[in-house]
Amino acid sequence: MSDDLALRVAQLERQIATLTGQSAPTIVASGAPPEANMQAALADAVQALEPLKALLDDDSVNDILINGPSNVFVERAGKLEKTNLTFPNDAQVFAIAEAIASNIGRHVSVQKPLLDARLPDGSRVNVIVRPLAVDGTAISIRKFSKRSITLDDMAAGGNTSVSLSELLKVVARCRLNVIISGGTGSGKTTLLNAVSEHIDHAERIVTIEDAAELKLQQPHVVRLETRPVRTDKNEDEVTIRDLMKNALRMRPDRILVGEVRGAEAFDMMQAMNTGHEGSITTIHANHPRDALARLENMIGMANLNLPHQAIRSQIASAVHLIIQVSRMRDGHRRVTFVSEVVGSEGDVITMQDLFGYNTKGEGPDGKLVGEFKWTGIMPRFIRRVAYYGEADRLAAALGVKLPKV
Instruction: Provide mean pLDDT across the span 15-27.
Output: 49
Q: Given this model, what pLDDT does residue 65 score?
A: 95
Provide the edge-to-edge strand list for the sheet that holds 79-82. 79-82, 72-76, 61-67, 138-142, 124-128, 114-118
Whole-number Å distance between alpha carbons of 211 and 225: 6
Q: Say which DSSP state 37 is in.
A: H
Q: Count CB-CB contacts under 10 A for residue 134.
A: 8
Confidence of residue 7 (pLDDT cuts 50, 70, 90): low
Q: Which amino acid is at 208?
A: I
Q: Given this model, what pLDDT does residue 338 score?
A: 97
Instruction: Provide mean pLDDT across the span 13-28.
Output: 49
User: How many CA atoms are closer than 13 Å to the CA of 9, on its beta-carbon side?
Assistant: 17
Q: Given this model, what pLDDT does residue 365 score?
A: 86
SS3 at position 206: strand
Q: Given this model, what pLDDT does residue 120 score?
A: 67
Task: State the pairing for strand pair 333-345/321-327.
Answer: antiparallel
CA neighbor of 212 nearest in space, from 149, 180, 246, 257: 257
Q: Given this model, what pLDDT does residue 41 score?
A: 45
Confidence of residue 56 (pLDDT cuts 50, 70, 90): confident
Instruction: Provide mean pLDDT across the span 49-75.
Output: 85
Q: Given this model, what pLDDT does residue 231 score?
A: 59
Instruction: Provide mean pLDDT across the span 301-316.
Output: 90
pLDDT in tens, 322-336: 999 999 998 899 999
Confidence of residue 50 (pLDDT cuts 50, 70, 90): low
* Residue 159 pLDDT greater than 70, yes or no: yes
What rounded mean pLDDT belongs to the chain?
85
Instruction: Provide mean pLDDT across the span 113-142.
Output: 87
Q: Given this model, what pLDDT does residue 303 score?
A: 86
Q: Which domains does the chain have, with CATH numbers?
A: 3-142 (3.30.450.90), 151-398 (3.40.50.300)
Q: Given this model, what pLDDT does residue 345 score?
A: 87
Whole-number Å distance between alpha carbons of 261 and 208: 13
* Residue 105 pLDDT greater than 80, yes or no: no
Q: Given this model, what pLDDT does residue 144 score?
A: 76
pTM (predicted TM-score): 0.81
* Residue 44 pLDDT greater than 70, yes or no: no
Q: Given this model, what pLDDT does residue 17 score?
A: 58
Alpha carbon distance, N-terminus to C-terminus of the chain:
79
Q: Count CB-CB contacts under 10 A for residue 324.
A: 28
Q: Given this model, what pLDDT does residue 23 score?
A: 46
Q: Given this model, what pLDDT does residue 100 score?
A: 78
Confidence of residue 346 (pLDDT cuts 50, 70, 90): confident
Backbone angles phi, psi at 168, to 5 degrees: -70, -30
Q: Given this model, what pLDDT does residue 49 score?
A: 55
Inter-CA distances, 94 with 65, 89, 130, Å: 14, 9, 9
Whole-number Å distance between alpha carbons of 196 and 344: 28
CA neighbor of 209 nearest in space, from 161, 258, 172, 164: 258
Whole-number Å distance between alpha carbons of 280 and 282: 7
SS3 at position 396: helix
Q: Say which DSSP state 353 is in.
A: E
CA neighbor of 15 nearest in space, from 41, 43, 52, 65: 52
pLDDT in tens, 178-237: 999 999 889 999 999 999 999 999 999 999 998 778 888 899 999 999 887 765 666 788
Inter-CA distances, 375 with 138, 164, 339, Å: 45, 12, 10
* Residue 99 pLDDT greater than 90, yes or no: no
